[in-house]
Structure 1
Amino acid sequence: MRKVAEVMVALLIGILSSINAETDPTDASLLNILYTSLNSAPQLTKWSSNGGDPCGELWTGITCSGSRVTGINISGLGLSGNMGYQLDRLTAVTTFDISNNSLGNQIPFQLPPNVQRLNLAGNGFIAGLPYSISQMTSLKYLNVSHNQIQGEVTVSFNSLTALSTLDFSFNSMTGNLPQSFQSLASMTNTYLQNNQFTGTIDVLANLPLENLNIENNQFSGWIPEQLKSINLQLNGNLFNSGPAPPAPPGGPSARQPQRNPQSGGSSASLTSGSIGSGGSKSGIGPGAIAGIVISVLVIGAIAAFFIIKRRSRKSSTDVEKLDSLPFAPLDSQEVQGVKSVQTSSTTSETPAVINLIPPPIDHHKSFDDTDVSTMPVLPPKKTNTPPINAKFFSVADLQIATDSFCVENLIGEGSIGRVYRAHLDDGKVLAVKKINSSLLSKTEDFLNIVSEISRLHHPNVTELVGYCSEHGQNLLVYEFHKNGSLHEYLHEVDENSKPLIWNNRVQIALGAAKALEYLHEVCSPSVIHKNLKSANILLNMELNPHLSDCGLASVIQEPDQASGYIAPEVAMSGQYTIKSDVYSFGVIMLELLSGRKPFDSSRPRPEQSLVRWAAPQLHDIDALSNMVDPALNGLYPVKSLSRFADIIALCVQPEPEFRPPISEVVQALVRLVQRANMSKRTFRNEGVGRGGSSDAETP
């Protein structure tokens, strides 16, 4: 009897375990995608590309709580491929460790949003950190060490107040440390060694650090006193030796008390450096008074300079009258006072001597040709070149690669410029866009544009490889997609063309929506595209979409109202917003559904504007079936078609406030894909040709 009871208990436990182990369907399907992206590695025992129960079957590296996947630890398994997409939907995952594998050159932007421990070390990543890390408010541990990550850190740390360990070591990161580091209120361990960081480390001064390694960078300036009492490793930098100079009056040190472990942490009295009872009461020392005097005199001198500069543009006789008095003279007492001003009476440094008397003007030169060395002492003009994370090509390089931009290599032309195919010596094929010179007023504008584009990294955004700015030529060099554009697939067909099947069309819409979601809701500030059209959606060999012309909004002059993509409010005011992008995206979806151009003058007048013709029929299932692209030959799931049309109707509403944000469009398309049961197996069976598989008709 006892044995029977034990058997019954064991069976009951097994039944309960199997019930509890049933994995959330969304989590399971996302792990299926991840497994496929990792090249179905045999090291991932029990994993599957379709179905399965990760929690109940104890998949390698997967931990669960109830039915939700809470941990993914597949470190050091020799994996290849990439991390796929939609990882941001693993909302219960708190540990994500894929370190020490070989997973391509780019960290995906969609990572588990509620992760607390994120380890991406040792994978060979090159592209910068995804901005989505900025939104991981639960993050406590971040490790991207031992990769090849290049460029400046663009992540914002303002919301990462729980982060306690940060490891950027052994990469190729450049630039100054982000000012948002100051918000890392829980940071105790920071490892930045073996990078190319520059500037000071002042932003780390007031963090509760215990361990800090900044060896082998290019940091300069002085080491903050607060950091000298912790475990600090700093060899291989350019720090100044000797005591740091006192902070200027009203500077950060005067406002923030410094930690002093030997004195119990109490800050020094603000009146300790004052002289006499008057200074003690007011708290203003001679250094502050000197600073005020200097400020007044400098402002006066600058104002005088610009007054004379304006006068110098008058006739030559007016200029001659200034010969004996080039600038309004300073009072002799003021000049004498300026010469004798010292920075502070409490410092032993050599007094600073400032001479504001300008030299006489040499009238043998024109004003514009004046030697810089004879100009008055003024604050230096900022000429910082924006950081660019892309390769520089010379004009000669691109002329060779494009055969002097010959017609045979011309692959496209738009309002921004022409696009040419380029063949490099190493066998790579790239696309070169020549920006029309009339769209740019100066080189700095182009370099600013290149800087912004070089920061955009997403699987569905065309990657900027390099740029050229020489001899009045401004060119952008992109990755090349052999399959051309969506416009060509839909509207430039011939007897040899293979029309897109329905499943491919939905997947193209989803990928393009994800690219737009990244621009609108991940990039900070948001990037408005302004030029969304099917010709700017490029397709690779697997028909995955890549949105091009991202970041070029500033060179788009007037909206092309005849294109059929322009939102009504843009046609009226010329003002673009993220909601006008959503409208244009809805037009692209309408192209995918109908196979028609957004505006076609060859059709009867009521049908020339695609949106005006189609919008009233999008909720009529009978009319909808007559709108479908004839190239589909009726091979599409009716329910999927209807839901697709519902999304379009929301996007092309005339009132922008009623259009959904693009993230809602993405989620709607994701649900559409799931409901249509578009598995990897289905795509492989259907290929990219004319649909014939019964899978294409799955409701």
Structure 2
Amino acid sequence: MIRWSICVSSPTPSFLRSFPVCQTLPKMRTNHFLLLLVIFLSLTCVHGNTDPSDVQALQVLYTSLNSDARLTNWKANNGDPCTESWRGITCDATSVVSIQLPDLGIDGTLGYSLSSLTSLKTLDLSGNNIHDALPYQLPPNLTTLNLANNNLSGNIPYSISLMYNLNYMNLSRNLLAQNMGDIFNNLTSLTTLDLSYNNLTGDLPNSLSSLSSISTFHVQNNQLTGSLNSLAALPLTDVNIANNRFTGWIPKELLSVPAFIYDGNSFDNGPAPPPPPYTSPPPGKARNNRSHSPPSRTHSGPDEPSSNTSSGKKLSTGAILGISLGSGFVILFTVLVLIFCLQKGKRMENVRRTSTVNPPIIDEKVNAEMQEQRATPAASVIDLKPPPPPTENSTFEKGKSGSTKRVKSTITTSSYTVATLQTATNSFSQDNIIGEGSLGRVYKADFSNGKMMAVKKIDNAALSLQEEDNFVEVVSNMSRLRHPNIVPLAGYCVEHGQRLLVYDYIANGSLQDLLHFADDTSKTLTWNARVKVALGTARALEYLHEVCLPSVVHRNLKSANILLDEELNPHLSDCGLAALTPNTEREVATQLVGSFGYSAPEFALSGIYTVKSDVYSFGVVMLELLTGRKPLDSSRVRSEQSLVRWATPQLHDIDSLAKMVDPTLNGMYPAKSLSRFADIIALCVQPEPEFRPPMSEVVQALVRLMQRASVVKRRSSDDSGFMYKTPDHEAYEMSY
């Protein structure tokens, strides 16, 4: 017999508590004890382990926050937040439900993986020095979001509109800019919204009227304009709108709010004008549940005197005559209105000249239910959000036919005059041309305030009549596209028959120029910079395809439309321009849509273009980053002229893959990272659209690629994203 001695360290597991701390177990078989030991160890290992996706997201956040020493117990690799008491982390079972790290002076950024924290309810990083753009995808199930008093820039991300459980949001005292955005329709649980002390501009969005639970609304010290009508019916108790640029009249409902601060604006004096008769109230819960609808006139209640009797007596002859005359007048008025509407409808039908080439815009709700992207002819792809109902900001313009039409769109970007743009571009001088796109040339514009912009001058000959007349509606939709990796639309011009678009100027040129036409051959993109460009572009497409409802199809994705700033962050241009389909003859003559080399097979063969066609084009761009070659290059031997045909068979062969890599990298890349990069390309350029992954999966694959590769030794010049050739260059050493 074998006698085993067990020493159980404290705390003792429950099934061994009947034994002393050290006890001899007589006559126990060896295999029985080993089985018991295995069970005990397995139980202790399973219990308390944090969800791997949560661990990975926190590791990315830790790295993005510069691995700050104040984040005690946090680790960039391995580790278990829930069992190791990472500072500020609270767990429920194996899931991270709260991150609270206020007022620690932490520096860095928020990274790119917060959306993976699907169980997170509270995120409080207020009172730190966190900078850079606010990530466009945040934890989706938050109830409390507090990022106040940091240095966050950019705009309010659209993904907040999908946080149905959000109760408290505080983004005050940051550097947020642009418009607030129509993102509040679904936030019916939100009670506190604080966006004060930022640089927000534009009018208050109509969707604020949907905040049926809100009590506190602070937007003081911004540059907001317009009226306060969207706040009138909300159950507010604390409102601060001071030091903005609001105009008009203060709704009387707001004047009864207990805490209402509104100084530093330009409101009109005197009482507000009465609303139009029978105007329905804005959506949302009215204060104190008071009904604003007119009383019902269908019948009289039991306690209500009848409208056609007086003290129970019959109507007099004069009353009957008055009713008859009144009824006749109402009937005559109705007939006249009907005739007017019929004539107006006929005139509008003549102006529209609708055809099967351009069907009407589909209702947004219907589009949202059609999440699966079905193959649609290229000319009938509905890319952008349908326009909102007519508002006071609707614009009038004249079409080619000479008729004046009302464009039912709310523009959330600046309007420029032709004279201003002529001055800034030196009368659209040839010397100021910096590119030529599918719809016209792009000019560099120097404004008197020192700001530099890019102006796209639309060639009206490229547009059909309907698309020319719908230009402002397209501008309205484009102005709502807001993402750190998308070139924002800064303004537009519709004047004297001219149609122009004004964009932010991106200083470092296009990816195409840097890869294929760089004058300085001693400088090239490092491998890390190329992966960064791929990831940023993928995030932009993910936003267009999967965040925007309905999805926005780019339809002209290529390296020439990926612009790079000084830090080599990519910015995708021409987003939303696919809604302005060029004339068929011009398109065929110049191949404006779906440039050769980037076109998916289904578009080249049948004219079908979907979001999966964008995925194919993105795969071609990744091939450019990998090989440094053009998508089509007639200067090469025939078998290598088409980049996709030449490269695809070699993507899974290690030896062939190494020979394909851009020679300007001089071998300075990690082999495993290269292989994973090639795997993503192979998925994107599948001939069949249904086998290509959605962009969200591409983004996650690129994120994992970056996480798994940590550089042990790298050149100091890699920090800038450029690699300078030297005779004694060092190779990269990577650890996994």
Contact kept? 1:175, 1:199, Cα under 8 Å = yes
Counterpart of 1:660 (choices 684, 693, 696) is 693
Q: Aligned pair 1:389/2:423, yes or no?
A: no
Distance 1:137 1:307 in 2: 41
Q: Aligned pair 1:411/2:434, yes or no?
A: yes
Shift in CA distance, 534/556, structure 1 to aligned 2, threshold 3 Å:
farther
Deviates more, 1:599-608 or 1:61-70: 61-70
Task: Name the counterpart of 1:377.
Answer: none
Contact kept? 2:713, 2:732, Cα under 8 Å = no
Shift in CA distance, 408/114, structure 1 to aligned 2, threshold 3 Å:
same
1:579 aligned partner, one-letter code: K
Counterpart of 1:688 (choices 722, 728, 733) is 722
Distance 1:665 1:292 in 2: 63
Q: Aligned pair 1:30/2:30, yes or no?
A: no
Shift in CA distance, 257/502, structure 1 to aligned 2, threshold 3 Å:
closer
Counterpart of 1:166 (choices 193, 204, 211) is 193
Q: CA deviation at 1:515?
A: 1.2
Task: Name the counterpart of 1:329.
Answer: none
Q: CA deviation at 1:661?
A: 0.9
Q: CA deviation at 1:607?
A: 2.8
Contact kept? 2:249, 2:272, Cα under 8 Å = no
Distance 1:304 1:581 in 2: 43
Q: What do the CA deviations read for 1:114-137 (whole angstroms, capped 9, x no partner)?
A: 221112344576754211101112
Shift in CA distance, 181/573, structure 1 to aligned 2, threshold 3 Å:
farther
Contact kept? 2:442, 2:455, Cα under 8 Å = yes
Q: CA deviation at 1:512?
A: 0.9
Q: Aligned pair 1:296/2:296, yes or no?
A: no
Task: Name the counterpart of 1:485.
Answer: 510
Q: CA deviation at 1:662?
A: 0.6
Q: Within 5 A, what are the aligned runs for 1:375-524?
A: 382=406, 386-390=410-414, 392=415, 394-395=417-418, 397-399=420-422, 401-424=424-447, 428-440=451-463, 445-493=470-518, 496-524=521-549
1:213 aligned partner, one-letter code: V
Unaligned runs of 5+ in 2: 1-7, 14-40, 310-322, 352-400
2:652 aligned partner, one-letter code: H
Contact kept? 2:204, 2:230, Cα under 8 Å = no
Q: CA deviation at 1:469?
A: 4.7
1:509 aligned partner, one-letter code: A
Deviates more, 1:20-29 or 1:414-423: 20-29
Counterpart of 2:607 (choices 567, 574, 580) is 574
Q: CA deviation at 1:593?
A: 2.1
Shift in CA distance, 105/174, structure 1 to aligned 2, threshold 3 Å:
farther
**Secondary structure of the equivalent of 2:457?**
strand
Q: Percent identity?
A: 45
Deviates more, 1:642-651 or 1:621-630: 621-630
Distance 1:680 1:30 in 2: 20
1:248 aligned partner, one-letter code: Y
Contact kept? 1:130, 1:155, Cα under 8 Å = no
Shift in CA distance, 49/542, structure 1 to aligned 2, threshold 3 Å:
farther
Distance 1:464 1:49 in 2: 40
Q: CA deviation at 1:494?
A: 6.2
2:627 aligned partner, one-letter code: S
Distance 2:78 2:71 in 1: 12
Q: CA deviation at 1:53?
A: 6.0
Task: Name the counterpart of 1:137.
Answer: 164
1:436 aligned partner, one-letter code: D
Contact kept? 2:108, 2:129, Cα under 8 Å = yes
Distance 1:541 1:66 in 2: 44
Shift in CA distance, 499/252, structure 1 to aligned 2, threshold 3 Å:
closer
Contact kept? 1:177, 1:199, Cα under 8 Å = no
Q: Aligned pair 1:117/2:144, yes or no?
A: yes
Q: CA deviation at 1:463?
A: 3.4
Distance 1:450 1:569 in 2: 29
Distance 1:66 1:540 in 2: 43
TM-score for the superposition, normalised by structure 2: 0.67
Shift in CA distance, 424/650, structure 1 to aligned 2, threshold 3 Å:
same
Counterpart of 2:673 (choices 627, 640, 663) is 640
Q: Aligned pair 1:584/2:617, yes or no?
A: yes
Counterpart of 1:175 (choices 200, 203, 221) is 203
Shift in CA distance, 242/130, structure 1 to aligned 2, threshold 3 Å:
closer
**Secondary structure of the equivalent of 1:499?**
strand
Q: CA deviation at 1:87?
A: 2.6
Shift in CA distance, 69/275, structure 1 to aligned 2, threshold 3 Å:
same
Q: CA deviation at 1:180?
A: 6.8
Q: CA deviation at 1:416?
A: 2.9
Q: CA deviation at 1:656?
A: 1.7
Task: Name the counterpart of 2:554.
Answer: 529
Q: CA deviation at 1:665?
A: 0.7
1:480 aligned partner, one-letter code: Y
**Secondary structure of the equivalent of 1:580?**
helix
Task: Name the counterpart of 2:278.
Answer: 248
Shift in CA distance, 186/292, structure 1 to aligned 2, threshold 3 Å:
farther
Shift in CA distance, 47/439, structure 1 to aligned 2, threshold 3 Å:
farther
Q: Could you say what the CA RMSD is over the residues aligned between the two structures, in angstroms?
A: 5.0
Aligned residues: 604
Distance 2:118 2:402 in 1: 63
Shift in CA distance, 167/695, structure 1 to aligned 2, threshold 3 Å:
same
Shift in CA distance, 526/513, structure 1 to aligned 2, threshold 3 Å:
same
Q: What do the CA deviations read for 1:616-659 (whole angstroms, capped 9, x no partner)?
A: 33334444344333333444434333322222222122222222
Q: CA deviation at 1:613?
A: 2.9
1:119 aligned partner, one-letter code: N
Task: Name the counterpart of 2:319.
Answer: none
1:141 aligned partner, one-letter code: Y
Distance 1:600 1:439 in 2: 28
Contact kept? 2:60, 2:76, Cα under 8 Å = no
Q: Aligned pair 1:539/2:539, yes or no?
A: no
Deviates more, 1:577-586 or 1:135-144: 135-144
Q: CA deviation at 1:615?
A: 2.7
Task: Name the counterpart of 1:352.
Answer: none
Q: CA deviation at 1:581?
A: 0.8
1:111 aligned partner, one-letter code: L
Q: CA deviation at 1:269?
A: 9.9
Task: Name the counterpart of 1:615.
Answer: 648
TM-score for the superposition, normalised by structure 1: 0.70
**Secondary structure of the equivalent of 2:613?**
helix
Distance 1:304 1:467 in 2: 35
Distance 1:307 1:481 in 2: 46
1:178 aligned partner, one-letter code: N
Shift in CA distance, 59/293, structure 1 to aligned 2, threshold 3 Å:
farther
Q: What do the CA deviations read for 1:19-38 (whole angstroms, capped 9, x no partner)?
A: 969896413422234314xx
Contact kept? 2:712, 2:735, Cα under 8 Å = no
Distance 2:402 2:140 in 1: 58
**Secondary structure of the equivalent of 1:564?**
coil
Q: CA deviation at 1:511?
A: 1.3
Q: CA deviation at 1:151?
A: 5.7
2:554 aligned partner, one-letter code: H
Counterpart of 1:96 (choices 117, 123, 126) is 123
Q: CA deviation at 1:305?
A: 5.3
Contact kept? 1:153, 1:174, Cα under 8 Å = yes
Distance 2:154 2:641 in 1: 44
Shift in CA distance, 10/688, structure 1 to aligned 2, threshold 3 Å:
farther
Contact kept? 1:165, 1:187, Cα under 8 Å = yes
Q: CA deviation at 1:76?
A: 4.7
Deviates more, 1:150-159 or 1:549-558: 150-159
Q: CA deviation at 1:667?
A: 0.8
Task: Name the counterpart of 1:275.
Answer: 307
Deviates more, 1:402-411 or 1:130-139: 402-411
